[in-house]
Amino acid sequence: MLQDITKQDARGIILDAAERQLAHYGFTKMTMSDLAEEAGVGVGTIYLHFTGKAEVAIAVVERSNQRVVEQLEAEALNPHAVEDRLKAILLKRILLRFEIVRRRSHQMDEVRALIRQQKVIRPTYLRWFEVETKIVAKVLQEGKRLGVFDFDDAISTAQTVLWSMDSLMPRNLKPHDFESPDEVRNKAERLAAFALRSLRPLDKH
């Protein structure tokens, strides 16, 4: 058993174990006792942090989204040209999630079905979309100050740019798409290039 760990440490250890269990057994076959053994904690410890297996699985997805957003935030702050940063954000938003789902395709179908059943998919999507919109809006505002981009409102423009990429989000792809990562990347590259062209001042098109 793990001892002398903080509440946050315990939660992270449980989620790490849940990712491994989901990868091997899927959501249906994963049990709380198996999860506890994998994490090296008691079953009671898991229930101190989660109400049940469903909440654990949803938390795994939420943590993946948080990690994606952290990478987008880091990209927004790097010293590259503002156009390069925006392109990287748009691509990473799609491709990082694509790779997560592609690596775990057999168990993610179960987890997505669970999320739909729990009726949390839309609130979850809207919450992360709002966070991502703010990241993109900040980069757009910087680009406008530099004369690289031209638009009326940063938030609405950021939303439109993200919506333009959403057809390639994993939830909108077909199973065969996950067998063609190069094709998905090429499509993402084209959409990002189109979005960047639409943001340039007319005299720079």
Q: Are residues 58 and 45 located together in one domain of the fold?
A: no
Q: What is the pLDDT of residues 147-195, one digit of tens each?
A: 999 999 999 999 999 999 999 998 888 888 888 999 999 999 999 999 9
pTM listed for this prediction: 0.84
- Per-residue pLDDT tens for 133-147? 999 999 999 999 999
Structural domain count of the chain:
2
CATH number of the domain where residue 83 is located: 1.10.357.10
Name the residue range of residue 154's domain: 53-204
Cα separation values, 21 from 29, 74, 83, Å: 9, 30, 40
Helix, strand and coil content of the chain, in percent to the nearest 5, comes to 80, 0, 20
- Residues 154 and 65 reside in one and the same domain: yes
Clarify whether residues 89 and 188 are in a common domain.
Answer: yes
Q: Are residues 128 and 78 in the same domain?
A: yes
Residues 113, 148: one domain?
A: yes
* Same-domain pairing of 91 and 147: yes
Same structural domain for residues 22 and 102? no
